[in-house]
A and B are shown apart, each in its own frame.
Chain A
Amino acid sequence: MADRGASIDELCSVPALLARNARDYGTKPAYREKEFGIWQVWTWTEAEAEIRAIAMGFLALGLERGEYVAIIGRNRPAHYWAMVAAQMCGAIPVPLYQDAVAEEMAYVLDHCGARFVVCGDQEQVDKVIDVQDRIHHIEHVLYNDKRGMRKYDHTHLHWLKEIEDEGRVAHSRLEPELDRRIAELTWDHTCVMLYTSGTTGKPKGVVLSNRNIIETARASCEFDHLGQDEEVLAYLPMAWVGDFIFSIGQAMYAGFCVNCPESPDTMMTDLREIGPTYYFAPPRIFETMLTNVMIRMEDAGDLKHGLFKHFMEFAKDTGETYGMPRYRKKQSKPTLRRRVRWAYRYAMGIGFAIETIVENAVRLFFVKLRHPVKTREHFRARGPLLNLYPQPLRDYFNYRTGEVLVYGPLKNTLGLSRIRVAYTAGEAIGPEIFEFYRSLGINLKQLYGQTEASVFITQQPDGQVRSDTVGVPSPGVELKIAESGEVFYRSPGTFVEYYKNAESTASTKDPEGWVATGDAGFFEEGTGHLRIIDRAKDVGKMADGRLFAPKYVENKLKFYPDILEAVVFGAGREKCTAFINIDLTAVGNWAERNNIAYASYQELAGHPRVLETIQAHVEEVNKSVAEDPMLSGCQIHRFLVLHKELDADDGEMTRTRKVRRNIIAEKFADLVDALYDGSSSIYTETEVTYEDGRKGSIKATLEIRDAEVAKPAQNGQVAA
């Protein structure tokens, strides 16, 4: 193992990479953040100076080697710096989810035993102070945003800037110590500890070493040819492994610039302003974007609506061929000679095109004169004039026209114009959503990953992208499929252990380094692509032995802009049923256009016409599910529209917005029963948690509807 990466042995830690970047790319931007309406820029040299100052500040406060430093806050350069600064001191950063309530935070803070906590703002400090009387090992709380902090007791509370200044002042004393600690870092030192979002049970602390992070970053940068000039927008929760790999691992390895949005609300505007070339988002973000586009197209005039429909229909088949960004070739600056050559070629090309068209027209004119009847027959058969050109060329012209009229402006509005590589992961994305973006010419790909693998297990190479697979094993990753269908992997990115949890480590990772993913999948014959069916725990059998894969149906449902979230039940039952969450933006917009008045989410969700619409969607989904012989049993027989949005604060979803199936089934047991006992409505009371932690309850009477079930495809019955 040790010889792996020997060629870059001196770059075996994030601080070492930082030093290299400051040396090689000193004047290039490293971090940007929009503050006070302007993008503030830090070059690599400046960033290094800042990070070192923070690190020395930590040393001045007495940060020891091997300690854990918790970081809670939204994506801001200072928070990333604090993480790297902690690494410089030989400590281990532990980023936490900033929207977690104090209770959730308490568990993680207690578990990692952090003495230092870096908070983003007053809100986070309050939460930490809240739990401090239970967790006694927290000694120093640092904060980044000074607002509202003036009247706090500052004996154990420090402003990050002041700590930085202290570090600068004491630099002659602390610099040698800092350099010594940086030099001590090796491949096997822990780089970061990340807590899993906990789809099931308590979060577990995943320990990732420098080797895990840097090897993974290197392999993935090479896989997608990521270079120094990429732009990324850091907006995903810092506690999520994805953000750590992209905004620290890959950014440090490749040396590209990390852009931080001004506030979570301005994310879309900032995305447009930055125009990232490399983008990463969970399916949810892509779904929301698509919903917004669809809503706005509904409001648009007939001409725009028609154009959009026409060209999107056209792009479905051709986008893959004509839309994708070309592979980037390293090229030096254009010389005068090269420019002249380009100009000459363009001029010749245009000249030739004009000549061809004129010539064709003239020839056609004479042909018509001579054989009027024959010509008419001939051209009726071949269609309009453009048909003189072969089909691919015509498609190309059409696609370019679409690019000018629809795709280009649309991509610009979404802020995706410059994308070279975009990834979606975390959950399966609906094929229709995926194809929408692909057909626009956005190189959206899927990857399959886990915190335990430092993200990458499989990913799709350019040119082999399909919505139903998650791609081939990433470089350096070995895969095998157990008899039960569960996917196992082994890679340089495989985590070291679960912190303070040897039992879980042993049950997940065997002595040879194979890790169980917990997902069921299979390799597709011929292509070698991995297909994930579902979480191994979720895939089940229905009462009559047919396969039950809830995710598959849910994703089909979620394609409709009106449906935000769906939960399908059916394991061990006769038939499938579903909970559905409406999307307030989409349905609200629809209601406005149809003069439907409503006072609340609950009222809108229970409106008979909304139910009708949803029922139509469910029935369409049933039809499309019935076409798949293996899954035809998963058609939804009955459904209800939930009176509240599923929310992470109520524990119904994880912080990364994945549905917690078991908890929902337990919490809404009365509703599930009603779905199966044939009643047509049910009265229910649900406890909800508000953002400030208070609890309340919602009462509602929900209508349960029966959906029409399609007949399974004929060949399906034969196969079954």
Chain B
Amino acid sequence: MNMVSYEPYVTEDGRTIGDAVMELRNITLRFGGVVAIKDISFDIREGEIRAIIGPNGAGKSSMLNVISGFYTPTEGEVWFEGGKRPPMRPYQVARQGIARTFQNIALFSGMSTLDNIMTGRITRMKSSLAAQALWWGRAQREETEHREAVEKIIDFLEIQHIRKTPVGRLPYGLQKRVELGRALAAEPRLLLLDEPMAGMNVEEKEDMSRFILDVNDEFGTTIVLIEHDMGVVMDLSDRVVVMDYGKKIGDGPPDEVRRNQDVIDAYLGVSHD
């Protein structure tokens, strides 16, 4: 069996959306008796911004954790880049080119912005522990290479002024940006953003939206996004998956989803029997 196949097309603003990079087939996730995700299937195409929305407790973050390999689905298959993905540890998934940010900021608060982003390069470091400790040969050369990559990200995210500031001292909006930087440092093929704009003011949201679009545009990174702010989702994403009570209730371009009666019900609240 192969993954679904699509014809590439070019969006209005000039981005190319290619074939599917990831496909989730009939994913079910149970914790004991609780069913977090119930038989969900969808796919993610190369170069697109795919949003997952839904009310609280709909299972969005669990879905993201399945994609990032943190949870192994109870049933169903994850297909990534043409092949079926066997159960994996999260670091193995990270090596495959999937990076993520977290809903609650998970940075090393005592370390500087620069060092935090540097940790994102970890999957790409090849020198041995001994070489690192002795600061010899490959370790030295690698440091330079990685520092250069990190500096490009710092430049990209416009956080030069906090390069050496411990992230614990930064305001929330900037910490979120640093976290995005760390995820980008891994040069991911697939970037998972878990509520990147939660708790931000309008200006910070605008900035963050611009960065997400730029990441997608400049690096061609495929992005999966969970977000509550409907305005943001509708503006940013190419396709939206709507979840409610662990089930998929809608899937398609933002305009289509907006008109979907199930979606409207889920958001406005209709009594469930």
Chain A residues proximal to chain B, CB less than 8 Å: 35-38, 147-148, 150-151, 262-263, 265-266, 269
User: Which one of B154-162, B232-240, B256-264 contacts A?
Assistant: B154-162
A263 adjacent to B158 (CB under 8 Å): yes
Further contacts, 7 of them, CB under 8 A, given A37-B151, A150-B14: A36-B151, A36-B152, A147-B156, A148-B218, A151-B14, A151-B217, A263-B160
Which residue in chain B gives the minimum CB-CB distance to A148?
B214
Question: What sequence of 0s and 1s flags, for each residue 214-237 of chain B, a beta carbon within 8 Å of any chain A beta carbon?
Answer: 100110000000000000000000
Which residue of A37, A147, A148, A151 contacts B163 across the interface (Cβ within 8 Å)? A37
Set of chain B residues within 8 Å of A37, measured between Cβ atoms = 114, 147, 151, 154, 160, 163
User: Whole-angstrom distance from the CB of A124 to the nearest CB of chain B?
Assistant: 15
CB contacts (< 8 Å) of B156 on chain A: these are: 147
Question: Which residue of B is nearest A34, CB measured?
Answer: B160
Residues in B whose Cβ lies below 8 Å from that of A266: 160-161
Q: Closest chain A residue to B164 by CB distance?
A: A269
Task: Give the CA-CA distance A35 to B14 in the complex, in Å.
Answer: 29
Q: Please provide the 5 A-B residue pairs with the shortest distance between their CB atoms, ordered closest to farther.
A: A36-B151, A151-B14, A265-B161, A266-B161, A37-B151
19 pairs across A/B with beta carbons < 8 Å?
A35-B155, A36-B148, A36-B151, A36-B152, A36-B154, A37-B114, A37-B147, A37-B163, A38-B151, A147-B156, A148-B214, A150-B217, A151-B13, A151-B14, A262-B160, A263-B160, A265-B161, A266-B161, A269-B161
Task: State whether the Cβ of B138 lies closer than 8 Å to any Cβ in chain A.
Answer: no
Measured between alpha carbons, how far is A583 from B125 in the docked complex, in Å?
47
Q: How far is the CA of A37 from the CA of B13 in the complex (A)?
A: 32
Contact A150 B155 (CB under 8 A): no
Q: How far is the CA of A309 from the CA of B200 in the complex (A)?
A: 41
Tell me which residues across on chain A come within 8 A of B85, comparing CB atoms: none
Quick check: is B15 within 8 A (CB to CB) of the other chain? yes
Task: Give the distance to chain B from A34, nearest Cβ to Cβ, in Å.
Answer: 8
Residues of B that sit less than 8 Å from A by CB? 13-15, 114, 147-148, 151-152, 154-156, 158, 160-161, 163, 214, 217-218
A150 near B152 (CB under 8 angstroms)? no
How far is B160's CA from A36's CA once the two chains are assembled, in angstroms? 8
| Contact assessment for A147 and B214 in the assembled complex, using a CB-CB cutoff below 8 Å | yes
Chain B: CB-nearest residue to A36: B151
Q: How far is the CA of A601 from the CA of B114 in the complex (A)?
A: 32
CA distance A348 to B98 in the complex (A): 70
Q: Would you call A148 and B217 a contact (CB within 8 A)?
A: yes
A263 touches B218 (CB 8 A): no
By a CB distance below 8 angstroms, the chain A residues around B147 are 37
The answer to whether A263 and B161 have CB atoms under 8 Å apart is yes
A151 to B14, CA, bound (A): 6
- Expressed in whole angstroms, the minimum distance between the Cβ of B159 and any Cβ of chain A is 9
B12's nearest neighbour on chain A, judged by CB, is A151
Are A147 and B218 touching (Cβ within 8 A)? yes
Contacting residues, chain A, for B161 (C-beta < 8 A): 263, 265-266, 269
Q: Are A265 and B160 in contact (CB under 8 A)?
A: yes
The complex places the Cα of A44 from the Cα of B155 at a distance, in Å, of 26
In the docked arrangement, what's the CA distance between A265 and B157, Å? 13
List of B residues within 8 angstroms of A269 by Cβ:
161
- Distance to closest chain A CB from B121 (angstroms): 15
Whole-angstrom CA separation of A262 from B163 in the bound complex: 12
Min Cβ gap B234→A in Å is 20
A-side contacts of B148, CB under 8 Å: 36
Question: How distant is the Cα of A150 from the Cα of B151 in the complex, in angstroms?
Answer: 21
- Nearest Cβ on chain B to A65's Cβ, whole angstroms: 38
Please indicate the chain A residues that have their CB under 8 angstroms from the CB of B158 in the complex.
263
A81–B148 alpha-carbon span in the complex (Å):
26
Q: Say how far A170's CB is from chain B's closest CB, in angstroms.
A: 30
Cα A35 to Cα B163 with chains together (Å):
12
Choice from B155, B217, B218 contacting A36 with Cβ under 8 Å? B155
| B11 nearest in chain A by CB position | A151
Q: Which A residues are CB-close (under 8 A) to B218?
A: 147-148, 150
Q: How far is the CA of A262 from the CA of B156 in the complex (A)?
A: 12
Cα A38 to Cα B154 with chains together (Å): 12
Q: Which of chain A's residues has its CB closest to B163's CB?
A: A37
- Chain B residues lying within 8 Å of A147, measured Cβ to Cβ, are 156, 214, 218
Q: Which residues of A contact B114 (CB under 8 A)?
A: 37
On chain A, the residues within 8 Å of B160 by CB distance are: 37, 262-263, 265-266
Which residues of chain A have C-beta atoms less than 8 A from B163's C-beta? 37
Q: How far, in whole Å, are A37 and B151 apart by their CA atoms in the complex?
A: 6
- Whether A151 pairs with B151 at a CB distance below 8 angstroms is no
User: Smallest distance from the beta carbon of B250 to chain A beta carbons, Å?
Assistant: 29
- Smallest CB-CB separation from A269: which chain B residue? B161
Q: How far is the CA of A37 from the CA of B155 in the complex (A)?
A: 9
B152: chain A residues within 8 A (beta carbon): 36
Contacts of A36 in B (CB 8 A): 148, 151-152, 154-155
Give Cα A38–Cα B147 distance, bound, in whole angstroms: 11
Residue of B nearest to A263 (CB): B160
Cα of A36 to Cα of B155 in the assembled complex, Å: 7
Kindly state the separation between the CA atoms of A690 and B101 in the bound complex, as whole angstroms: 31
In the bound complex, CA of A5 to CA of B145 (Å) = 52
Query: How distant is the Cα of A655 from the Cα of B152 in the complex, in angstroms?
Result: 31
The answer to whether B154 and A151 touch across the interface, beta carbons within 8 angstroms, is no
Distance in angstroms between the alpha carbons of A622 and B226 in the assembled complex:
59
Shortest C-beta distance, B37 to chain A (Å), equals 36
- A219 smallest CB distance to B (angstroms): 37
Find the A residue at minimum CB distance from B161: A265
A151 touches B155 (CB 8 A): no
What is the minimal beta-carbon distance from A418 to any residue of chain B, in angstroms? 22
Q: Which B residues are in CB contact (< 8 Å) with A38?
A: 151
Q: A268 CA to B218 CA in the complex, in Å?
A: 30
Q: Residue on B with the closest CB to A151? A: B14
> Which residues from chain A contact B155 at a C-beta distance below 8 Å?
35-36
Q: Smallest CB–CB gap between B218 and chain A, Å? A: 7
Smallest CB gap from B114: residue in A:
A37
A151 touches B15 (CB 8 A): yes
